[in-house]
Structure 1
Amino acid sequence: MVSSWARRSGVGRTEAVAVSVPVAVMFAIGLWGLDRGGMWRDEAVTFQVARRSVPQIWQLLHSVDAVHGLYYLLMHVVLAAHPGEVALRLPSVCGAAVTAGLVAALGVRLCGPRAGLWAGLLYAVTPMAGHFAQEGRSYALVAAGVAGATLLLVRAVRTGSWWAYGGTVAVSCLLHEFAVLVLLAHATTLALSRVPSRVWRGWGLAAGAVVLVLLPLALVSKEQSAQVAWLSAPGLDSVDRLLRAFAGPARLVLLPYLLLVALALCPPLGRRGELTPAAVALPLLVIPPAVLMGVSRFWPLYDERYVLYALAGAPLLAAAGAERLLGMVPRPAVNTLTGVLAIALVFVWQLPVLRQDRAPDRRPDNLAAVSATAGRELRPGDPVLFLPSIVRRSALAYPNGFRGVRDIALRKPGPVSGTLYGQETDPDELRRRLADLDRVWVVAEPFALRPSWYPGSATERVKLTVVGEEFVPREEVVRKGVTLRLYVRKPPHPFTDWATE
């Protein structure tokens, strides 16, 4: 199979193997433990939105999640045939495998087959790559798009053909708009490589087209910026976490990795117009995270997943450093095997991290567990109050546990109202509905039960006020991220028994 693909593609068998092996390894790591038995909140959003009709998805994007619109439409097609957790995550597995192959292809193009093999394998065994390979979100696909665009940049500098590059960057940005920062990284690459003016003209036209395509999405998503209000300004701890995520959390892996990266950066610049490994990989690794962190000091937008695509620069630099180190020893076959064995040791050393990451409890929450708990505690006809309304996501993702219950606050379901979690009734109507109840189950986020929480929504405030003043807690079950609490109405005359005595 490899040899036939190599003949058709015009590449040698060695180059084909260097690209194919990382793809296979990343695909295997991605499939390992893919069905965790539970989605967490972000995956649940993908799952429930992607199963709506296209007009309903389009209606939703006008008010929320426009930044993920193209991804939801893609997942609508994927989940149409067989909705489930494996199908939800499979595109990310494929995206991660493609990224590993593209990183290898970049290494082959810039350093040779041996370094390409090492770079692709390093990417595949990095825990961060394995983590997002199993997320039902767009980030692994964005990483594949950016890696492909970087490879097309290297080709376009040589051939002068920029349309494929511009199209790939545009699609990557439409999957997630923060991928646009790769244009700054690529501009830095061209500046470090001292390319001629004709290259700048071609790249400038492609970059300008990307910005024009992205502009409508940027304007719409700016109006929806409240969705990222939970983000905080990054500090030095954010830099440290990202460094360990890119290179590996274990010090035994991190220190040699950094030494190899430093070794790759030691050689002087190449010939004028030549794209060296350092000129390509270093800006990709540094520029997007640095720019997003810098902006986030004033307008918090940074999260590690938004710059996952920058990870591709780290294994490229480490492989280039290893190539320089082992290249001084004239034993190619032995050196190749030495590098592969070293990466195998890195994989074994980080295996506990990868294994832990496949447990459902490693995510912020497990909506399947919440639904299972609700199924044990709730009975058909029981009134339920979701506090705040976003907690309804567990019922939307796994409805079996909530089957037959009465959602007291809901006015219109999400698909009908064009919202993620449904449109709730007005405060007066909610008071009337609660007045008829003697008991109510509250499914709440932990923060919503703290005395210090003050919701902005009037309906949410009525939930807190009425439940707090007219009901008392009777039972409570806590799952990670969610609390189920049964409230019963206070007796109308609490001192009647005492007075009778």
Structure 2
Amino acid sequence: MARTTAQRLRGRLAAVTPGRAGRAAAVLAPAAVMTVLGLWGLDRGTMWRDEGATFQVARRSLPEIAHLLGTVDAVHGLYYLFMHAVLALHADEVTLRLPSVAAAAATASLTAAIGCRLARPRVGLWAGLLYAATPFVSHYAQEGRSYALVAAGAALATWLLLRAVEHGASGWWAGYGAVVGVTALLHEFAILLLAAHAVTLLVSRVSWPVWRGWGCAALAACILLAPLAVLSQGQSEQVSWLRTPGYEQAKALLYAFAGPGNLVLAVTLLLIAVGVLLPLPRTGPLPLHAVALPLAVVPPVLLYVASQQQPLFLDRYLLFCLAGVPLLAAAGAERLFGLLPWRGVAAAVGVAAVAGAFVWQLPFQERERLPSSRGDQPARVATAVGAVARPGDAVLFLPHYERRIALFYPRDFTGLKDLTLKRTAAASGTLFGEDVSSTELRTRLARLSPSERVWVVWDTNTVGTRWFRAQRAEYAKSRVLGAMYREESSVYVHGGAVSLYVRR
């Protein structure tokens, strides 16, 4: 009797262990690949504007961060608090980006886990690798902002949804609601994930108990987000620079999610079409296409439509729903490669196809690691100041937000007198500090001796433009400077310049 029981146990282990090992490999391999890609070229030698905001705000004290969030950037409050703890360990650019690398690796792994649960291990493996190989993912995996963490939260919430639908226990629904709520606190547009999941449940025709559990969890997440939504509405001026989206913005999002190379885009769209038109048999709690298609489509469509009234459409705000694209493409690949004999051959062919897509788009991946990939290079501007200015010189920032460079890299500005600073950024609860009036600037310039030099750090993308002339305070400062001083020399870098001004 004991021998028979042992034989049965060995038989079950022999049958189960390979499957579990296959799922484990399918889930871990994409995380490993994403980690390698995330660490590749992580130190670009400069932070760009938004990363610098994270860096300088997160290094403030907790009361100073709270003061800031009452006036600006409330939508990033939870992320700033998280990064406050991270940068307390070691404050540099690599540490700033490491949480995003880890979050992207987790998202790749969760994408694979969802594919394994809804189909089979090789589908999960392909989906996770496709996610990791997407240049758009690499971009935000290497950026010190919250978007990679939001994507990880959305992927975890989707996985928890599958568990909750399958088991129906209140604990799973509570976990799901908590993860959705926290993810939305990292970036409030992630609440659109609930709409995608509602469509998933609708087309899957789930039972009433499932709807009840989901409804309670969704309501709890919305209640958790409500105070932030009210507070951020009063700070909407921060995104006033966004424009009503049209065809070009929709096209750019499509290329970001499924491209950006034309050949890869075409193949991905073909596989998605196969995955949608010939859906895989339902093997998990929900059909794969019913989970992946709403995830990839519903949040972008809702945000696009809403942005026709109040422009809020930006590709990075939607990174959290990209995982639906590789899941659909992997489902289509399963329909095609699944016809091949032997499981190992089919899996290898799929992995080779992903590797080929990565190699084909290698120039895009390399471009993401360049210092110029984010639009500006504050470190180069700071270095230019440090090379030419000497202690006792004066500095003036045009527009005032260029003071961010001194906040990001204060060492290069040591000993320089800020001509327009009224209150520091931390004291004023702002990102860049408060400036004096143009009248006070005239007084301060007049007090300088003829031998004292003035260095002007200015944004070449805005100074002199119609936008700059419309900013009365900024334009007035430039007029006062031009009336009393003249430009003698300039050093230009990508997106900025440092100019020496001497008294007329």
Q: TM-score range by the shorter chain?
A: over 0.9
Picking from 259, 280, 298, the partner of 2:270 is: 259
Q: In the superposition, relative to structure 1, how do residues 272 and 356 fare at CA in structure 2: closer, same or farther (>3 Å)?
A: closer
| Aligned-residue offset at 1:482 | 1.2
Picking from 373, 380, 394, the partner of 1:383 is: 394
> 3-state DSSP class of the match of 1:442?
strand
| Aligned-residue offset at 1:269 | 9.3
Task: Report whether the alignment pairs 1:432 with 2:443.
Answer: yes
Q: How many residues align?
A: 482
Q: Distance in 2 between matches of 1:275 and 1:86?
A: 40
Task: Report whether the alignment pairs 1:134 with 2:142.
Answer: yes
The code of the aligned residue for 1:81 comes to L
Which of 476-485 and 127-136 deviates more? 476-485
Q: Distance in 2 between matches of 1:31 and 1:453?
A: 38
Task: Report whether the alignment pairs 1:59 with 2:67.
Answer: yes
Deviation per residue, 1:82-125 (Å, 9 max, x gap): 11111000000000000000000000001110100000000001
Partner of 2:154: 146
Partner of 1:497: none
| Aligned-residue offset at 1:489 | 2.5
Contact 2:118 2:284 in 1 (8 A): no
Partner of 1:477: 491
The code of the aligned residue for 1:484 comes to V
Partner of 1:444: 458
Q: Distance in 2 between matches of 1:478 and 1:298?
A: 39
Contact 1:430 1:462 in 2 (8 A): no
Contact 2:280 2:331 in 1 (8 A): no
The code of the aligned residue for 2:502 comes to V
Q: In the superposition, relative to structure 1, how do residues 79 and 10 fare at CA in structure 2: closer, same or farther (>3 Å)?
A: farther
Counterparts in 2 of 1:147-166, with a 5 A limit?
Answer: 147-160=155-168, 161=170, 162-166=173-177
Partner of 1:494: none
Picking from 30, 33, 42, the partner of 1:22 is: 30
Q: Distance in 2 between matches of 1:271 and 1:115?
A: 13
| Aligned-residue offset at 1:329 | 2.9
Picking from 285, 288, 297, the partner of 1:286 is: 297
| Aligned-residue offset at 1:55 | 0.9
Partner of 2:91: 83
Deviation per residue, 1:50-70 (Å, 9 max, x gap): 111111111110001000000
Task: Report whether the alignment pairs 1:392 with 2:400.
Answer: no
| Aligned-residue offset at 1:356 | 1.6
Q: Distance in 2 between matches of 1:163 and 1:112?
A: 27
Q: In the superposition, relative to structure 1, how do residues 469 and 82 fare at CA in structure 2: closer, same or farther (>3 Å)?
A: same
Q: Distance in 2 between matches of 1:272 and 1:359?
A: 43
Q: RMSD over aligned Cα, in angstroms?
A: 1.9
Deviation per residue, 1:419-439 (Å, 9 max, x gap): 111122244322211222344
Q: Distance in 1 between matches of 2:279 and 2:350?
A: 24
Partner of 2:224: 213
Q: Distance in 2 between matches of 1:196 and 1:335?
A: 36
Q: Distance in 2 between matches of 1:328 and 1:112?
A: 15
The code of the aligned residue for 2:463 comes to L
Partner of 1:353: 364
Partner of 2:181: 170
Counterparts in 2 of 1:244-323, with a 5 A limit?
Answer: 244-267=255-278, 275-323=286-334
Deviation per residue, 1:291-346 (Å, 9 max, x gap): 11111122111111000011100000000111111223342111011111111111
Contact 2:45 2:371 in 1 (8 A): yes
Percent identical residues: 54
The code of the aligned residue for 1:40 comes to W
Task: Report whether the alignment pairs 1:69 with 2:77.
Answer: yes
Partner of 1:462: 476
Picking from 218, 221, 239, the partner of 1:228 is: 239
| Aligned-residue offset at 1:268 | 6.1
Structure 2 length normalisation: TM-score? 0.92
Gaps spanning 5+ residues in structure 1: where?
A: 1-8, 491-501
Contact 1:264 1:324 in 2 (8 A): yes
> 3-state DSSP class of the match of 2:322?
helix
Deviation per residue, 1:168-211 (Å, 9 max, x gap): 00110010101011111111111111111221111111111111
Which of 377-386 and 24-33 deviates more? 377-386
> 3-state DSSP class of the match of 2:278?
coil
Deviation per residue, 1:254-275 (Å, 9 max, x gap): 1111111000001369779951
Q: Distance in 2 between matches of 1:219 and 1:273?
A: 39
Contact 1:92 1:134 in 2 (8 A): yes
Structure 1 length normalisation: TM-score? 0.93
Q: Distance in 2 between matches of 1:442 and 1:108?
A: 57
| Aligned-residue offset at 1:476 | 1.4
Contact 1:170 1:213 in 2 (8 A): yes
Q: Distance in 2 between matches of 1:183 and 1:46?
A: 28
Q: Distance in 1 between matches of 2:282 and 2:394?
A: 73
Q: Distance in 1 between matches of 2:100 and 2:66?
A: 23
Task: Report whether the alignment pairs 1:489 with 2:498.
Answer: no
Which of 167-176 and 288-297 deviates more? 288-297
Contact 2:166 2:285 in 1 (8 A): no
